[in-house]
Chain A
Amino acid sequence: DGGITQSPKYLFRKEGQNVTLSCEQNLNHDAMYWYRQDPGQGLRLIYYSQIVNDFQKGDIAEGYSVSREKKESFPLTVTSAQKNPTAFYLCASSTFPTQTGNEQFFGPGTRLTVL
Chain B
Amino acid sequence: DQQVKQNSPSLSVQEGRISILNCDYTNSMFDYFLWYKKYPAEGPTFLISISSIKDKNEDGRFTVFLNKSAKHLSLHIVPSQPGDSAVYFCAAGITGANSKLTFGKGITLSVRP
Interface residues of B (CB under 8 A from A): 6, 9, 31-32, 34, 36, 41-46, 49, 51-52, 89, 93-101, 103-106
Contact = CB atoms under 8 A, between A and B. Distances in A.
B93 to A, nearest CB: 6
B1 to A, nearest CB: 11
Interface of A: 4, 6, 31, 33, 35, 40-45, 48, 50, 56, 58, 88, 90, 92, 94, 96-109, 111
A11 B51 CA distance: 38
Nearest to A9: B41
B25 to A, nearest CB: 14
18 contacts: A31-B99, A35-B103, A40-B9, A40-B105, A41-B105, A43-B103, A44-B103, A100-B31, A100-B32, A101-B32, A103-B34, A103-B46, A103-B49, A105-B46, A106-B45, A108-B43, A109-B43, A111-B41
